Amino acid sequence: MNELAKLSLHEAARAIAAGTLSSEALVQACLARIAERDPAVGAWAYLDAEQALAEARLRDRQAPLGPLHGVPIGLKDIIDTADMPTEYGSPIYRGYRPAHAARCVELLRAAGAVILGKTVTAEFATYHPGRTANPHHPGHTPGGSSSGSAAAVADFQVPCALGTQTAGSIIRPASFCGTIGYKPSFDAFDYRGLHPLAPSLDTLGLFVRDLADLAPLRRVLAPRAVPQAPAARKPRIGFCRTAQWKRGDAAMHAALEASAQSLAKAGAEVVEISLPPSFSQLVSAQILVFAAEAVRGLATEWRDHRAALSAELQALIEEGRRYTAQDELVAQALAAKCRLELGTILGEVDVLLTPASIGEAPGGLGKTGDPLFNRIWTMLHVPCVSYPIGAGPAGLPLGAQVVGAHGADDALIGYAMWMQNHSPAVAGANA
């Protein structure tokens, strides 16, 4: 593999800014890696090599536009692009080109990024998977719905890709593929120009290979955020198994417990955290809100193209149609109560350490895995980071999920960097 393809986003941006690397050379390295690996991985829904190289050559002729100048980035294919098809993982929109690009695409290009292409998404970012396979083992799922973004980054096909999360669609595939996943605080990144699914949950986020990559990306995608200085002390960590702990497998239990022990030995204050009783109903509340809002988010497709929707998506919408407005109010009221209670907990510890997934990626490509350990944090609108902490019995990656207070994204990322540096050896990256 061309060593340039292994560069992290911040390493690539620094080299391009210093004049020791051209954007064209980096894009060529990514395209060569894609040509070698994508027949097996299947991460890309749309890729035009000449278009990407032309954009890279333009960046090489320009004065630096911003912190991402010349760096290639992939976009989950529910993000609108006017110069590339946007198909939302559905045959309904085959070849569709929106009139305008999403706001996040405008921000990335204004900062100098090169949009490499569109990555595979599950149908409308729900449950019916696309063709992407896990880059570590093609017989296992990469997770979903941001399957292509997670697999492309993990497989060194692009240093960064955007994804979305409505239940667990960033954190879970990051865990399954052995890369970094970041779901920001709700509404931290502008969601305009993405196909809505459940607007009170939909969150735009990132896949990278190095936690240090998140700072320049946040400067571009959350320009109104006030940067927070990293804490000068070791984190106070709440080890939070959650009420769903017994649903996790033995390998995940062992990896997370070993991680907690390593962090304590490194000097962090690690305490056991039990969530209040109200949290026991939060998974069910998230499932209800997801389905009920999907009825509205996909109303046009349901009305005009019902037969073209997958059986899984039709079942989701049928479920959502059974809920009443009162059901939604009760679920949202529970979420509001739990947000207040979580705020109290996160006043006593800096972050929570909790599972990123039930275990390693399951076999087969017909399902994307269970977002059980992600649902409540998405419902609570708090930022989450996943990083690799080991491997399961099939040798596939396992991830830890670190959860922070709403709006405290920079602090969360800083603590996660310290935690990753003091965790057990991570699963080896696919080469």
Catalytic residues: 76, 145, 169
Cα separations in angstroms, 42 against 118, 148, 199, 392, 428: 12, 7, 29, 23, 21
- CA neighbor of 187 nearest in space, from 154, 210, 164: 164
- CA neighbor of 420 nearest in space, from 383, 396, 390, 377: 390
Give the Cβ contact number of residue 227 at 10 Å: 11
Exposure string for 330-344, b = 16+ CB within 10 A, e = fewer: ebbebbeebeebbee
The structure tokens listed for 48 are 């035009």
Give the Cβ contact number of residue 123 at 10 Å: 25
3-state DSSP call for residue 215? helix
Residue whose structure tokens are 């991570």: 426
**Is residue 293 classed exposed, middle or buried when 0-12, 13-18 and 19+ CB atoms within 10 A define those classes?**
buried
Angle at which helices 23-41 and 147-154 cross, to 10°: 120
Cis-peptide into 149, omega within 30 deg? no
Output phi, psi for 255, to 5 deg: -65, -40
